[in-house]
Structure 1
Amino acid sequence: MDFKEKKVLIIGMARSGIAAAKILKEQRAIVSIYDQKPLEKLVKELKTLSGLNIDYYLGGSEPEISTDKFDLVVTSPGVPLTAAPITTAFGKGLPVWSELELASIMTKSPIIAVTGTNGKTTTTALIGDILSKTGQKVKVAGNIGIPLVQEVTYADDNTYLVVEVSSFQLETVHQFCPKIAVLLNITPDHLDRHKTMGKYIAAKGNIFINQDKDDYAILNYDDQLTRSFASKIKCQVIFFSKKHKLEKGIFLDQGTIIANWQGKTEKIIDWEQVKIKGSHNLENSMAAIAVALICNVNRKGLQESLQTFPGVPHRLEPVGEVDGITYINDSKGTNPEATIKAVEAYMDKKIVLIAGGMDKGSSFNDLAKIAAGLSCKIVVFGETAVKIKEAATDAGISECYQVNNLAEAVELSKNISSKGGIVLLSPACASWDMYSNYEERGDHFRKLVKKVMG
């Protein structure tokens, strides 16, 4: 698509909005940007875009939105589709794209897209590592922290683009069509935005909407909602399972990851040899292996990656040990299901769980029941503190403490934990009530632990 002289309105000046503005200006588009924040809170962003001849509408000052004024609206994933400028654009018949959609139209590189409620970042990074270690040209981008539109200009037609994709980005799919689409799992999340599970599931399903018989979908056979997409999509389906032996797909058999693929049964690796641990990472690894088989990578490099890939920051990340107590940073655990997986990864330890943050409309009852079964102590803070504490009390947890902030949580956890035990930051909530993002929250936890370590 030729963007020369196209009038594009970008909604939101976060990372994806800034990246979209830069590449559109390179392609000689006429760019305007809208952001609710006032000028004084966007100094850094404005400096990044200085000299690009962009019109700005800041502090809630909305532009006149019509088909005469604009040809296209590109929205940042953090901006809900109910925001006034976007609803106006829909009402005027203007196309509304995500930065993901924009990037996909600008490239002919094969796209490997990964979505799911949990495990997206680890799986995306692992796929990138596997492809790199097996000699493939690869760029890793998307919701993992690097806007895809930023990478497409550096990728030729033989470069794999491995992209973490969120439900927010998938809400506005038009032509986005990954060669390989991975759906890891679906559990309740982001219901504050999507309002219903049906809408959340539909957004996730948009990852397959433009695929055809030459494309691939990788689905978790053990997750009923994920498995159900197999009957609805037009592409080739490959399942993975840690519970069932599959006639076609990737599965675990007596501790060994096996692939039934293209009429052959192949041992890939013993699970105990894979560096990242936990049952959730078994699923992530099998999904990545399925991608590797489709890409026909050499097995030696595949095994090397599985044996050495360390995981990603802020996901079950060991920070340090003090007085026999290990501190784990799982700030990426932004919903109850992710925290359940984190707690279960240390079920043989005495756990002090630090949880709480912005309320996304999730229930904490299942998390509380599992924590009770593992005799966890819980320290809660943030917007959801009372809600989590009530769930913990109902589940029979006697030691659940409410504090004002993360610093107080770390200090209290130090005092109530046992030698040989774990202090686990896995909030089960978004960070936005106190932090800009989960990375900032995780970095703060690291600093607090280093202070405890002296």
Structure 2
Amino acid sequence: MLSNLGSKVFIGGNLGNPLSDAAIKGLSSSFLEPFEVAVVEVSSYQMEIPHKHFCPSVAVLLNLTPDHLERHKTMRNYAMTKCRLFSHMNGSKLAVLPIGNQHLNEALKDHVSKCNVVWIGDFPGVKVDMVKKVANFRLPTIGVASQIQLGALKAIGNHNYYNAAVAAFCVLALDVGIDGEAISAIMGTLHAPPHRMQIVYSDTRGITWVDDSKATNVEATYTALTGLNEQKSVVLLGGLAKVLDIQGSCGFERLVDPLKYHRCVITFGSSGSMIQKTLWAAGLSIPCIKATNLEDAVNVARNVARLGLSSFHAKNLQQEKAIYASNSIAKDCGYTYKI
């Protein structure tokens, strides 16, 4: 968003180039175009390292769901670690968090005291009207009161509209000379990052392949499936599942409800059998097919999408009863599958 509006931006941190690269370039006498803004992803693992000087102008914690608990042990510890992001922020600096999360609300008491706190889903903060595809912003303390049109956004899934709205809110809060009208004008030029509800292929039969392999936990997959309720998708679930609690649960039973709006599920990979059995035990109401590996899953998904389940089963009687993927459906581990 900032780049499309002409700002010189460093993008990195946990998702790519280390932040130290920006510092080194900034100190170089040969670096003629200094960065105006650094957009940095910071992981909870990095936040475990004590720091005294990390102080963003705007810091966002989009959500808190069960993840990395093999390291953090409890949701309380996880929330406390994530909220270290805000520890040294003060004055007009802005902390942006989701409304109504008990663990975050408790962690805020120890880590946020001297900066502005705003909310995703309430005012002061940002609220999204998904029917009208409009984001409304209110932050009286720094004079932000604006509205952004999201309708032109090229994205799949309701959560991506919220992501775009939060990004726009952060840009406005940075006060770098960009207004709501300018952001609305470039909304149609934005697209999802790789492996995050990314459309990787659309064929002549009207079948669209969506790669959401960055959805590496059940909660992220739940959110994506909820945003695809009207698509009647063939859903690929696989890979190596994360354990969510001390009882050894991986949480896939949570997906039974959003999956009822879709056509079928195809499981694969190391946890494919476990996912299939968990879904069946939880009362999955749509067919579930177990594939041997990712390539097989892609082939099965293509056939189901093109032929329909009845025709597919007539030609594949050896299959167990039985296009979104929370592991890569078209690109994985350096290989590309023809779809």
State the TM-score bracket (shorter-chain normalisation): 0.7 to 0.9
Q: Distance in 1 between matches of 2:264 and 2:210?
A: 15
Q: Distance in 1 between matches of 2:308 and 2:198?
A: 17
Correspondence for 1:113: none
Residue 284 of structure 2 corresponds to residue 406 of structure 1: no
Q: Distance in 1 between matches of 2:169 and 2:92?
A: 16
Residue 277 of structure 2 corresponds to residue 390 of structure 1: yes
Tell which deviates more after alignment, 221-230 or 334-343. Answer: 221-230
TM-fit CA distance, 1:283: 2.1
TM-fit CA distance, 1:144: 1.6
Task: Indicate how the Cα distance of structure 1 residues 217 and 401 shifts in structure 2: closer, same or farther if over 3 A, else same.
Answer: same
Correspondence for 2:226: 344
TM-fit CA distance, 1:282: 2.4
Correspondence for 2:128: 252
Task: Indicate how the Cα distance of structure 1 residues 272 and 170 shifts in structure 2: closer, same or farther if over 3 A, else same.
Answer: same
Correspondence for 2:31: none
Identity of aligned residues (%): 31
TM-fit CA distance, 1:172: 1.2
Asked if 1 retains the 8 angstrom alpha-carbon contact of 2:234 and 2:262, the reply is no
Residue 123 of structure 2 corresponds to residue 238 of structure 1: no
| Matching residue's letter, 2:126 | I
Residue 47 of structure 2 corresponds to residue 170 of structure 1: yes
TM-score, normalised relative to structure 2: 0.79
Correspondence for 1:425: 325
1:86-126 Cα shifts (integer Å, max 9, x gaps): xxxxxxxxxxxxxxxxxxxxxxxxxxxxxxxxxxxxxxxxx
Residue 189 of structure 2 corresponds to residue 308 of structure 1: yes
Residue 332 of structure 2 corresponds to residue 441 of structure 1: yes
Task: Indicate how the Cα distance of structure 1 residues 190 and 383 shifts in structure 2: closer, same or farther if over 3 A, else same.
Answer: farther
Counterpart of 1:334 in 2: which secondary structure?
A: coil
| Matching residue's letter, 1:147 | P
TM-fit CA distance, 1:237: 1.0
TM-fit CA distance, 1:228: 4.9
Q: Distance in 2 between matches of 1:265 and 1:203?
A: 29
Asked if 1 retains the 8 angstrom alpha-carbon contact of 2:240 and 2:270, the reply is yes
TM-score, normalised relative to structure 1: 0.61
Q: Distance in 1 between matches of 2:59 and 2:89?
A: 9
Q: Distance in 1 between matches of 2:302 and 2:232?
A: 13
Alignment: residue pair count: 304
TM-fit CA distance, 1:202: 2.0
Q: Distance in 2 between matches of 1:134 and 1:326?
A: 30
Task: Indicate how the Cα distance of structure 1 residues 251 and 420 shifts in structure 2: closer, same or farther if over 3 A, else same.
Answer: farther
RMSD: 2.8
Q: Distance in 2 between matches of 1:167 and 1:148?
A: 16
| Matching residue's letter, 1:236 | N
Asked if 2 retains the 8 angstrom alpha-carbon contact of 1:325 and 1:419, the reply is no
Correspondence for 1:276: 155
| Matching residue's letter, 2:20 | V
Task: Indicate how the Cα distance of structure 1 residues 324 and 279 shifts in structure 2: closer, same or farther if over 3 A, else same.
Answer: closer
Residue 266 of structure 2 corresponds to residue 379 of structure 1: yes
Correspondence for 1:191: 69
Counterpart of 1:215 in 2: which secondary structure?
A: strand
Equivalent of residue 216 in structure 2, options 334, 339, 344: 334
TM-fit CA distance, 1:312: 0.7
Residue 174 of structure 2 corresponds to residue 295 of structure 1: yes
| Matching residue's letter, 1:424 | Y
TM-fit CA distance, 1:404: 2.3
Asked if 2 retains the 8 angstrom alpha-carbon contact of 1:350 and 1:420, the reply is no
Correspondence for 1:319: 200
Tell which deviates more after alignment, 357-366 or 221-230. Answer: 221-230
Correspondence for 1:138: 9
Counterpart of 2:186 in 1: which secondary structure?
A: helix
Residue 243 of structure 2 corresponds to residue 361 of structure 1: yes
Q: Distance in 1 between matches of 2:165 and 2:191?
A: 16
Correspondence for 2:79: 201
Task: Indicate how the Cα distance of structure 1 residues 442 and 284 shifts in structure 2: closer, same or farther if over 3 A, else same.
Answer: farther
1:127-167 Cα shifts (integer Å, max 9, x gaps): xx3x2334433201112222222232223786321101111
Correspondence for 1:152: 23
Q: Distance in 2 between matches of 1:383 and 1:298?
A: 47
Asked if 2 retains the 8 angstrom alpha-carbon contact of 1:240 and 1:286, the reply is no
Q: Distance in 2 between matches of 1:393 and 1:180?
A: 44
Task: Indicate how the Cα distance of structure 1 residues 277 and 223 shifts in structure 2: closer, same or farther if over 3 A, else same.
Answer: farther
Task: Indicate how the Cα distance of structure 1 residues 279 and 155 shifts in structure 2: closer, same or farther if over 3 A, else same.
Answer: farther
Q: Distance in 2 between matches of 1:420 and 1:393?
A: 21
Task: Indicate how the Cα distance of structure 1 residues 212 and 420 shifts in structure 2: closer, same or farther if over 3 A, else same.
Answer: farther
Q: Distance in 2 between matches of 1:419 and 1:350?
A: 15
Q: Distance in 1 between matches of 2:188 and 2:281?
A: 42
Asked if 2 retains the 8 angstrom alpha-carbon contact of 1:352 and 1:376, the reply is yes
